[in-house]
Amino acid sequence: MYVLVTNREPLPYGAEGELYIGGDGLARGYFERPEVTAEKFVPDPFSCRPGARMYRTGDLARCRPDGNLEFLGRIDHQVKIRGFRIELGEIEAVLEQHPAVQKAVVAARDADFGSKYLAAYFIPKPGATFSQSQLREHLRKQLPEYDSPSISCRARISLESQWQSGPQGVAHSASRRLPP
């Protein structure tokens, strides 16, 4: 296992980077998905074996001075809820296609008993009229059920008319603060 920067150079202890996995037990790629295989299974410059590959996990990690790896989150804003991998950016993009939505952000929030749910926050366009049910229907038409904030996923859509954003607008950061 390696913690590397984007040019696949090793990082010193304590520095944050992407976690890569290599070695004898590594899979050869994704079944019948050559484009994803090429993106995620990259040449392993640390291996002595010709043609060796390593896997880009998409996990943000750091190596501690004691040699243990510390998981810090995801690089790609992907979350896992009820066994499904969900790209938050895809849900945000679908929400922003709705005529009443100016800007959106989606987050995985903690619920009771260790489960999670999706919460969508957005800034409505000035003068826009809409209902939460219209927004839910818009999401249901374009997303799989597990991606769509719905009652079965214990999801909520929260309306935020007063939302402070930084100079670049809504930042996609693991540290962003959202209402519960």
The predicted pLDDT at position 116 comes to 81
Q: What pLDDT, on a 0 to 100 scale, did the predictor assign at position 70? A: 93
Where do the CATH 3.30.300.30 domains begin and end in the chain?
78-159
Residues forming CATH 2.30.38.10 domain(s) in the chain? 2-74
* pLDDT value of position 85: 81
* Main-chain dihedrals φ then ψ at residue 146, nearest 5 degrees: -70, -20
Please check whether the domain covering 78-159 is classified as CATH 3.30.300.30.
Answer: yes
In the prediction, which pLDDT does 55 show? 94
CATH superfamily of 2-74: Luciferase; Domain 3 (2.30.38.10)
pLDDT at 178: 52
Q: What is the pLDDT along the chain (180 residues), one digit of tens a residue?
A: 999 988 889 999 999 999 999 988 888 888 888 888 898 999 999 999 999 999 999 889 999 999 999 998 888 777 888 778 888 888 888 888 999 888 888 888 877 777 788 888 888 888 888 777 888 888 888 887 766 653 222 233 444 443 444 433 433 443 344 555
pTM score of the predicted model? 0.55
The pLDDT of residue 30 is: 87
pLDDT of residue 54: 95
22: closest CA among 31, 30, 45? 45
Q: How far apart are CA 121 and CA 101, in angstroms?
A: 10
- Please tell me the predicted confidence (pLDDT) of residue 179: 52
